[in-house]
């Protein structure tokens, strides 16, 4: 190589060599990074912490913290799965107000975890769950019933007392029913539209509860309020609600009679009452699946089944009080629903009760004299829904009557003798009945209920109960 060529090569290798060396170093670093990230994934340590019983004074802070949870982005499908243009044959002349509910909103999918805890029984409380349940169980009535529910929620929101309660009489019971109506729709303190309404109702109930656990001296109100607080805890996991739930449920467990029933004022007398028992059982069931830590809850539920079976007439009718022959269609609805909720849907007594209901002519008529009422229809509708068979016939009957008789402001007045109980009573019972499609997982589906096997505690005292029964 001559001197000139050598000089040119040295000139080129100077900067070029430096660049090549740097490129090689960068390439090596990139390879090292990819090798490390590809061959090892970061471990995530999950720490499960036990939450101690919270003081009720902390409720305000907990609710505030829940509100600060990051808003969830949702994905809305491009089309609506429910066909809102086609009506069933039996509603071609139906003239109820066209609903103003957005059914697309019923098909959202949460992309991150929500404070709403959906557990088995409550899986229909999410937006997507409601849409799915309405398609499966409401049929072509879905657009009318859900629109009626939304109008009812708006009315309840507008007519809530400033302190968070509803009505002026039987406030604990009415507030419990109001809260249950919002919870049935999946509304919690974090809900964008109804969050403040739910939060105020929860605050009022907790403030109203006495140190002994009593929400009210009335046995019905105690059952309903405890039911509402138990559902609220099951859906939100707010620690202060667990404290209130356990205290309220303890009153119910302690007030049960040895034979398994309940009576007015939790009296320990020979008289028992099916209607009173219905609300205690609904509260206990909600508390049980929410994780109540009250000794004897499962045993109390098991004993209640014995009580129902004892006071059923031969043809399937359940008694109101102690005489099986004094039963009614409404009380049969109570008995059947409670047995279904506790895992006894296939029991002979429950089947007899359903057969009795199916043999009756059950008009859903606001004008009929001597007809039934919202209280009875609340139980009968749920009993038929959870039975599953012949549901469509009853669905068309009650869905039409309820949506046709809703007031223009979104409220209801109960028919007949119940009309004097006011709009809060009528609106909550009507809305809760129309929410049957998604309020609870149908008990005929897998994992909807616990096994009907007696608890250990109930087995231990079975000999003593034989003498009572």
- Determine which helix (DSSP H) or strand (DSSP E) holds 75, and give its type and residue range: strand 74-75
Mean pLDDT over residues 123-146, rounded? Answer: 91
Dist CA 303 CA 458 (whole Å): 7
Q: What is the CATH number of the domain that holds 167?
A: 1.50.10.20
Dist CA 395 CA 384 (whole Å): 9
Find which of 113-122, 312-321, 388-397, 430-439 is predicted with most confidence, using mean pLDDT: 430-439
| pLDDT tens digit sequence for 353-405 | 999 999 987 788 888 765 568 999 999 999 999 999 889 999 999 999 999 99
pLDDT confidence band for 121 (50 / 70 / 90): low
- Do the domain assignments include residue 148? yes
* pLDDT attached to residue 134: 95
* pLDDT attached to residue 361: 73
pLDDT over 50 (residue 231)? yes
pLDDT confidence band for 5 (50 / 70 / 90): very low
Mean pLDDT over residues 23-35, rounded? Answer: 47
Q: Residue 292: CA atoms inside 13 Å, Cβ hemisphere, count?
A: 28
Contact by Cβ (8 Å): 253, 285: no
Instruction: Judge residue 49's burial from the number of C-beta atoms within 10 Å of its C-beta, 0-12 exposed, 13-18 middle, 19 or more buried.
Output: exposed
Q: In the 8-state DSSP scheme, what is residue 137?
A: I
- Do the domain assignments include residue 282? yes
pLDDT over 50 (residue 88)? no
- 436 versus 323: the higher-pLDDT residue is 436
* pLDDT attached to residue 95: 53
Contact by Cβ (8 Å): 190, 230: no
Contact by Cβ (8 Å): 336, 389: no
Dist CA 189 CA 200 (whole Å): 9
- Do the domain assignments include residue 40? no
Contact by Cβ (8 Å): 415, 373: yes
Backbone torsion region of residue 65, taken as left when φ is above 0, otherwise alpha when ψ lies between -120 and 50, otherwise beta: alpha
* pLDDT attached to residue 442: 75
Instruction: Judge residue 178's burial from the number of C-beta atoms within 10 Å of its C-beta, 0-12 exposed, 13-18 middle, 19 or more buried.
Output: buried
* pLDDT attached to residue 357: 95
* pLDDT attached to residue 60: 57
How high is the mean pLDDT of the chain? 78
- Do the domain assignments include residue 425? yes
Query: How many structural domains are present in the chain?
Result: 1
Dist CA 394 CA 397 (whole Å): 5
* pLDDT attached to residue 448: 45
pLDDT over 80 (residue 2)? no
* pLDDT attached to residue 301: 96
Give the residue among 356, 337, 353, 233 at the shortest CA–CA distance from 294: 233
Write phi, then psi, for 312 (nearest 5 degrees). -115, 130
- Do the domain assignments include residue 35? no
* pLDDT attached to residue 124: 80
pLDDT over 70 (residue 117)? no
In SS3 terms, 200-254 reads as HHHHHHHHHCCCCCCCCCCHHHHHHHHHHHHHHHHHHCCHHHHHHHHHHHHHHHH
Mean pLDDT over residues 220-237, rounded? Answer: 96
Contact by Cβ (8 Å): 458, 299: yes
- Do the domain assignments include residue 100? yes
Dist CA 295 CA 10 (whole Å): 91
Q: List, in sequence order, every residue forming a beta bridge with 74; answer none if it has no partner.
A: 110
Q: How far is CA 204 from CA 59, 160, 185, 199, in A?
A: 11, 11, 20, 9
pLDDT confidence band for 110 (50 / 70 / 90): very low
Q: In this prediction, what percent of the chain has a pLDDT beyond 70?
A: 68
* pLDDT attached to residue 170: 95
Q: Return the sign of the alpha-carbon dihedral for residues 346, 379, 357, 121.
A: negative
Contact by Cβ (8 Å): 309, 342: no
Contact by Cβ (8 Å): 450, 243: no
* pLDDT attached to residue 349: 96
Dist CA 177 CA 195 (whole Å): 16
* Residue owning tokens 């009528």: 426
- What lies within 8 Å, CB to CB, of 336 at 6+ separation is 318, 350, 353, 354, 357, 379, 383, 387
* pLDDT attached to residue 444: 58
Write phi, then psi, for 351 (nearest 5 degrees). -65, -40
- Determine which helix (DSSP H) or strand (DSSP E) holds 109, and give its type and residue range: strand 109-110
* pLDDT attached to residue 105: 44
Domain extent, residue 163, equals 56-468
* pLDDT attached to residue 208: 96
Q: In the 8-state DSSP scheme, what is residue 104?
A: G
| pLDDT tens digit sequence for 171-188 | 999 999 999 999 999 999
- Do the domain assignments include residue 50? no
| pLDDT tens digit sequence for 49-83 | 333 444 545 665 655 555 443 332 322 222 223 33
- Determine which helix (DSSP H) or strand (DSSP E) holds 74, and give its type and residue range: strand 74-75
Dist CA 229 CA 239 (whole Å): 12
pLDDT over 70 (residue 204)? yes
pLDDT over 50 (residue 92)? no
Mean pLDDT over residues 435-446, rounded? Answer: 78
pLDDT over 90 (residue 96)? no
* pLDDT attached to residue 19: 47
- Do the domain assignments include residue 2? no
Contact by Cβ (8 Å): 167, 152: no
Q: In this prediction, what percent of the chain has a pLDDT beyond 90?
A: 59
Give the residue among 326, 233, 231, 315 at the shortest CA–CA distance from 275: 326
């Amino acid at each position: 190589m001559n001197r000139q060529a050598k000089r040119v090569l040295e000139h080129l290798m100077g900067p070029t060599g430096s660049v090549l060396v740097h490129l090689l170093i960068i390439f090596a670093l990139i390879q090292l990074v990819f090798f490390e990230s590809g061959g090892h994934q970061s471990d995530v340590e999950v720490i499960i912490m036990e939450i101690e019983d919270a003081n009720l004074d902390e409720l305000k802070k907990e609710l505030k913290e829940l509100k600060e949870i990051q808003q969830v982005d949702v994905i809305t499908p491009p089309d609506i799965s429910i066909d809102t243009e086609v009506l069933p044959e039996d509603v071609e002349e139906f003239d109820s107000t066209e609903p103003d509910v957005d059914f697309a909103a019923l098909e959202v999918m949460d992309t991150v975890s929500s404070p709403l805890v959906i557990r088995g029984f409550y899986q229909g409380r999410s937006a997507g769950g409601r849409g799915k349940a309405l398609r499966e169980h409401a049929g072509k009535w879905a657009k009318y019933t859900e629109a009626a529910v939304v109008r009812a929620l708006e009315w309840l929101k507008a007519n809530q007392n400033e302190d968070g309660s509803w009505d002026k009489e039987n406030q604990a019971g009415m507030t419990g029913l109001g809260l249950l109506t919002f919870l049935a729709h999946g509304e919690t303190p974090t809900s964008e539209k109804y969050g403040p309404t739910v939060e105020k109702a929860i605050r009022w109930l907790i403030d109203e509860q006495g140190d002994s656990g009593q929400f009210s001296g009335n046995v019905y109100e105690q059952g309903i309020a405890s039911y509402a607080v138990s559902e609220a805890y099951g859906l939100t996991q707010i620690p202060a609600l667990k404290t209130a739930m356990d205290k309220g449920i303890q009153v119910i467990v302690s007030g049960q009679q040895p034979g398994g029933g309940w009576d007015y004022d939790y009296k320990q007398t020979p008289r028992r009452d099916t209607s009173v028992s219905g609300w205690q059982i609904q509260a206990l069931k909600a508390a049980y699946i929410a994780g109540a830590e009250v000794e004897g809850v499962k045993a109390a539920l098991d004993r209640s089944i014995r009580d129902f079976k004892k006071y059923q007439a031969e043809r399937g009718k359940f008694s109101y009080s102690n005489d099986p022959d004094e039963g009614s269609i409404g009380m049969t609805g109570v008995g059947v629903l409670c047995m279904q909720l506790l895992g006894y849907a296939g029991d002979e007594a429950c089947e007899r009760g359903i057969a009795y209901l199916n043999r009756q002519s059950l008009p859903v008529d606001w004008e009929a004299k001597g007809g039934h009422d919202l209280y009875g229809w609340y139980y009968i509708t749920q009993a038929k829904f959870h039975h599953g068979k012949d549901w469509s016939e009853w669905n068309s009957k009650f869905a039409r009557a309820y949506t046709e008789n809703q007031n223009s402001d979104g409220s209801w007045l109960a028919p007949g003798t119940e009309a004097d109980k006011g709009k809060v009573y009528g609106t909550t019972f009507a809305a809760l009945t129309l929410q049957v499609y998604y309020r609870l997982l149908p008990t005929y589906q897998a994992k909807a209920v616990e096994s009907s096997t007696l608890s250990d505690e109930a087995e231990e005292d079975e000999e003593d109960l034989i003498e009572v029964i």
